Amino acid sequence: MRTVLLLVLALIAVGALAFYLLTIPVTFSAADLPDHTPDVANGKMMFIAGGCAECHAVPVKTCDGLEIEDETQLAGSRCLKTDVGTFHVPNISPDPETGIGGWSTLDFVNAMKRGVAPGGVHLYPSFPYTSYQRMRFEDLIDLKAYLDTLPPVRSTVPANALHFPYNIRRGVGLFQRLYVDGKTFEPDPQASQSVNRGGYLVMGPGHCVQCHSPRNALGGIIASAAFAGAKSPSGKGDAPNIGSSSEGIGDWSQADIAYFLETGSTPDFDVVGDVMVPVQENMARLPAKDREAIAAFLKTLPPGRESAETP
């Protein structure tokens, strides 16, 4: 009996050590950052393309009762209800105590490309760093510089309310071992400059794959069905297939897609709705050549699966 007990304890110890080693945060060092002078204007474009305000800005009610959003007030605290529990969006304003005002550029880069906050804290992938990791260091440096120009806002954000075992934050390190490599988007040497620009915006800051792709039991994107559609994050309806499948927007021309991103109007005279509204409004603020580039890239995507349901 004693031998069995010692064996069990040994297995527990080995398992704990393996868990610890596999979940050690992987981060960049200061030497990995390029010598780059921040471009605040480009940082604002990355902010818009990334839809940062849609999650982190404080809603404001006007005198007529309509709710608008002040994208400069990044106090967070919105909630995201999921099957694993409720996530509360953090403050990313320059406030040094409740926001990220005390973060260095390196801290910010590690959060965006590695999913690790200062102090080696794993960030939950409800924050789409699995897409943001594809962004260039220079664009992230610019984005941090832009965020630093916004007003600091002090706020108290509730703690996440997640079910076991998802409430064990250290376990996110296992997810990151599988889905986070920190690699920047690599242009296709066979593709045009426009297609590669669109690919960068879609795969990186735009994080389109996050909503339009089904996920496995671990919450990772199913690569073979990327962009093939999925359940809408709002829980209402589906995010459509945006590959070349006739089930989604496969019959749309490149011009149709670019026009939709600019105006919100579809080729069949419908209009954008649900959670895609703020995304389209952000796309409309980008330069026309960027919308055209996104459209060009989307037309290169394979059909994917003919279903928006998660396998």
**pLDDT tens figures, 20-33:** 888 999 999 999 99
Residue 106 confidence (pLDDT): 98
Q: Which two tokens stand for residue 4?
A: 């069995």
Among 119, 153, 184, residue at a domain's last position: 184
Total number of domains constituting the chain: 2
**41 and 154 within one domain:** yes
At 304, is the pLDDT very low, low, confident or very high (cuts 50, 70, 90)?
low
**224 and 88 within one domain:** no
Residue 63 confidence (pLDDT): 58
Among 140, 165, 184, residue at a domain's last position: 184
Q: Is residue 241 part of a domain?
A: yes
Among 124, 154, 184, residue at a domain's last position: 184
Q: Is residue 140 part of a domain?
A: yes
Query: Strand pairing partners for 161?
Result: 86
**149 and 211 within one domain:** no
Q: Is residue 10 part of a domain?
A: no
The chain-wide mean pLDDT, for the chain, equals: 90
**265 and 123 within one domain:** no
**242 and 168 within one domain:** no
**214 and 162 within one domain:** no
The per-residue b/e assignment along 57-82, b for 16 or more CB within 10 angstroms, e otherwise, is bbeeeeeeeeeeeebebbbbebebeb
Query: Comparing 16 with 169, which gets the higher pLDDT?
Result: 169
How many CA atoms does the CB half-sphere of 263 hold within 13 Å? 12
**208 and 263 within one domain:** yes
Rounded to an integer, what distance in angstroms lies between the CA atom of residue 121 and that of residue 111? 9
Domain that residue 152 falls in: 26-184
Q: Is residue 18 part of a domain?
A: no
Which residues have C-beta within 8 Å of that of residue 237, sequence separation ≥ 6?
274
Residue 229 confidence (pLDDT): 86
**209 and 299 within one domain:** yes
Q: Is residue 124 part of a domain?
A: yes
**191 and 178 within one domain:** no
Q: Is residue 302 part of a domain?
A: yes
**154 and 194 within one domain:** no
pTM of this prediction? 0.90
Q: Is the pLDDT of residue 308 over 60?
A: no
Q: Is residue 60 part of a domain?
A: yes
- Contact of 141 with 105, CB cutoff 8 Å: yes
Rounded to an integer, what distance in angstroms lies between the CA atom of residue 128 and that of residue 50? 10
**47 and 164 within one domain:** yes
Q: Which two tokens stand for residue 268?
A: 């069949």
Q: Is residue 301 part of a domain?
A: yes
**196 and 178 within one domain:** no
pLDDT single digits (tens) 131-157: 999 999 999 999 999 999 999 999 989
The per-residue b/e assignment along 238-250, b for 16 or more CB within 10 angstroms, e otherwise, is bbbbbbbbebbbb
Q: Is the pLDDT of residue 306 over 60?
A: no
Residue 6 Cα distances to 3, 16, 204, angstroms: 5, 15, 49
